[in-house]
A = this chain, B = another copy of it.
Amino acid sequence: MGNDDWNKQRVLEVLREAGVNPTSQRVEIGYALFSSCAHLSAEEIMQRVNADYPVVSKATVYNTLGLFADHSLVREVIVEPGKVFYDPNVSLHHHFYYVDSGELLDIPASALQIDKLPDLPLETEVERVEVVIRLRRCTAH
């Protein structure tokens, strides 16, 4: 997943289809994001984009990722204060979070089933159900 031959032309098309004007900065950020199948922080994305020479500012990385999130091109995952991960997998799924290492791992939607939801407050509808399973290294042997 994720590793299926991304190139900048394809990123450009995906952005256009999503209704995002494909500027060079956005294509670079999208390429860094989609061609990695990992859960990256804004900082890591900027490092990848600017690896050779400065291409985008940090502000643009944040604004662009926010824009991508609005257009469902990426999903923000928050597990710790002051740490947001950007997940290029926008299909329905959940996450393991390794408390010790700070790493994030996908859980396919089919591997977890919620069979009883509480009644919703009036006049509201569910946008999304987020499940994070926090894991730590076994203490018991």
Tell me the A residues contacting B by CB distance below 8 Å: 76, 78-82, 84, 96, 98-99, 105, 107-108, 111-121, 123-140
Contacts and interface: CB of A to CB of B under 8 A. Distances in A.
B135 A121 contact: yes
Contacts of A80: 78
B116 A125 contact: no
B134 A126 contact: yes
Given A78-B78, A111-B118, A112-B118, A129 B134 contact: yes
5 contacts: A76-B81, A112-B114, A125-B140, A129-B134, A130-B131
A124 B137 contact: yes
Most buried by B among A78, A130, A133: A133
Given A107-B118, A111-B118, A134-B129, A98 B124 contact: yes
A86 to B, nearest CB: 11
A124 to B, nearest CB: 4
Contacts of A105: 121
A125 B134 CA distance: 9
A133 B113 contact: no
The 5 closest A-B pairs by CB, nearest first: A111-B118, A113-B116, A127-B134, A124-B135, A115-B115
